[in-house]
């Protein structure tokens, strides 16, 4: 096995033209800002069109690249111009802070990755605004332990990070085999107990008539979004949607200054498998509508994908975690909308009390219904009739 080589990737730091300190991106603006003298410098405007890339061609290039370099990716060793320190960056990180002086550093976008991000959504809300959203979210949690509310008051720091995502476009043609169910009614005799007597009555019963069907549906999918990071649970990050992907801008290092950024950990072909599962759920709905009728059975379907393209993008997320009773919980905030999603603890006592109250309410309702039914049976309400001679019961 070959030894892992260390190399220094291209790095970018943005010194302030007024005081020499390093500039960081100011969320919600088109400026880099100095944390010391507050001087601002604009992010250069690029009119680059956001392009889709051919999925099959990229897969072939990736396969060829893996054959020519089977060695593990090199360690990223970089140098900070602010304090002169040299240090290593994790291979999955290409933007962050110097561990010695804290100044922002942006490395080349995944030096060992063939596919580079070419567009992103810049941060729109600040850390202070993200904290406000988190406080509102945690205060509204149902059945949360009382102790968790203190995290809404604590001044914990949030980390701003750009997470990698894939988007996929694909035209799909699907052939299916199934059954169409049409409802019809038939009379059926049933035995019912009325006022203590067994009575035979005829009622109409709904049945389903099944007819074999086969057919074809087609749909074009646009920007099916798949997370390419394994650092946070997918069930959390997936729930941060929707994202305003129509506002994607061309990738520029200036937007990453002062924030973390990850290289993709989910490969392009693996991401497409996740995308196919999402598409299949929608395609099943299309098939059910195409079959029609009152009920549907889908026995099998086969989907062919064509004109498949992708984009590799970065999306902004504020993230943090807290510990409650020796267990770690993560939460994330959408860096564009402020939407909060995360893990949370539950209070067994509050849940138990709620269940108990629910049982009492149900039993009380049943008791009142039974009491009213018995009262009506023994004391029927007689409605008076108006006659020429007056009221008559």
Q: Block means of pLDDT (10 residues each) for the chain, length 393 residues?
A: 42 82 92 91 85 94 71 50 46 54 53 81 94 81 58 69 96 98 92 81 90 97 95 86 94 91 92 96 97 96 97 93 68 92 63 73 76 61 56 51
Three-state DSSP state, 231: coil
Rounded to 5 degrees, φ, ψ at 46 are -115, 135
Nearest to 165 by CA among 54, 50, 308, 268: 268
Are 7 and 74 within 8 A, CB to CB? yes
- pLDDT score at 379: 57
Omega of the bond prior to 242 within 30 degrees of 0, cis?
yes
What local confidence, expressed as pLDDT, does residue 17 receive? 87
Decide if 314 contacts 109 (C-beta within 8 A): no
Q: Are 127 and 316 in contact (CB under 8 A)?
A: no
Strands 385-387 vs 390-392: parallel, antiparallel or unpaired: antiparallel
Helix (H) or strand (E) holding 180: strand 159-194
> What is the pLDDT, as a whole number, of residue 390?
55
Triad 387, 388, 390: Cα angle to 5°: 65
Nearest to 48 by CA among 106, 144, 119, 108: 119
Q: Is 205 exposed, middle or buried (0-12, 13-18, 19+ CB in 10 A)?
A: exposed
The span from the CA of 175 to the CA of 211, in Å, is 17
Spatial neighbors of 187 by CB under 8 A, at least 6 apart, are 202, 203, 204, 205
Classify strands 260-262 and 295-324 as parallel, antiparallel or unpaired: unpaired
Nearest to 164 by CA among 315, 25, 51: 315
**Model-level pTM?**
0.75
pLDDT of the residue at 157: 77
pLDDT at 354: 65
Distance in angstroms (rounded) separating the CA atoms of residues 158 and 148: 17
Say whether 81 sits in a helix, a strand or coil. coil
As a whole number of angstroms, the distance between CA 291 and CA 270 comes to 32
pLDDT at 99: 45
| pLDDT the model gives residue 107 | 57
Coil, helix or strand at residue 156: coil
Residue 377 has what DSSP assignment?
H
State how far the Cα of 194 lies from the Cα of 359, in Å rounded to an integer: 29
Dihedral sign of CA atoms 361, 367, 370, 376 in order: negative
d(CA 235, CA 365): 39
- Spatial contact of 52 and 73, defined as CB atoms under 8 Å apart: no
């Amino acid at each position: 096995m070959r030894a892992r080589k260390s190399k220094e990737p291209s790095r970018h730091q943005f010194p302030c033209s007024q005081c020499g300190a390093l500039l960081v991106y100011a969320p919600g603006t088109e400026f880099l800002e100095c944390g010391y003298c507050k001087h601002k410098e604009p992010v250069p405007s690029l009119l680059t069109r956001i392009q889709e890339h051919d999925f099959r061609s990229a897969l072939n290039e990736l396969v060829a690249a893996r054959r020519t370099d089977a060695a593990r990716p090199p360690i990223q060793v970089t140098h900070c111009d602010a304090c002169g320190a040299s240090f290593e960056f994790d291979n999955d990180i290409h933007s962050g802070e110097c561990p010695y002086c804290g100044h922002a550093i942006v490395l080349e976008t995944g030096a060992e990755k063939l596919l580079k991000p070419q567009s992103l959504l810049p941060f729109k809300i600040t850390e202070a605004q993200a904290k406000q959203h988190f406080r509102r979210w945690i205060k509204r949690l149902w059945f949360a332990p009382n102790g968790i509310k203190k995290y809404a008051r604590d001044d914990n720091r949030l980390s701003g990070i750009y997470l990698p995502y894939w988007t996929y476009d694909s035209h799909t043609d699907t052939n299916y085999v199934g059954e169409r169910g049409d409802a019809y009614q038939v009379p059926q005799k049933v035995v019912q107990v009325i006022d203590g007597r067994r009575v035979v009555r005829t009622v109409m019963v709904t049945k389903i008539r099944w007819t074999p069907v086969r057919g074809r549906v087609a749909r074009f999918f646009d920007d099916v979004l798949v997370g390419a990071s394994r650092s946070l649970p997918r069930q959390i990050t997936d729930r941060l949607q929707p994202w305003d992907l129509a506002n994607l801008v061309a990738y520029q290092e200036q937007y990453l200054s002062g924030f973390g950024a990850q290289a993709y950990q989910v490969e392009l072909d693996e991401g497409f498998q996740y995308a196919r599962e999402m598409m299949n759920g929608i395609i099943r709905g299309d098939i059910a509508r195409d079959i029609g009728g009152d009920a549907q059975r889908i026995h099998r379907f086969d989907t062919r994908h064509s004109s498949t393209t992708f984009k590799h993008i970065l999306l902004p997320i504020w993230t943090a975690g807290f510990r409650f009773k020796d267990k770690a919980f993560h939460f994330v905030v959408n860096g564009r909308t402020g939407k909060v999603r995360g893990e949370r603890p539950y209070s067994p006592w509050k849940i138990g009390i709620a269940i108990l109250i629910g049982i009492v309410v149900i039993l009380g309702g049943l008791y009142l219904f039974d009491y009213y039914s018995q009262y009506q049976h023994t004391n029927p309400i007689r409605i008076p009739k108006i006659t020429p001679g007056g009221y008559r019961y």
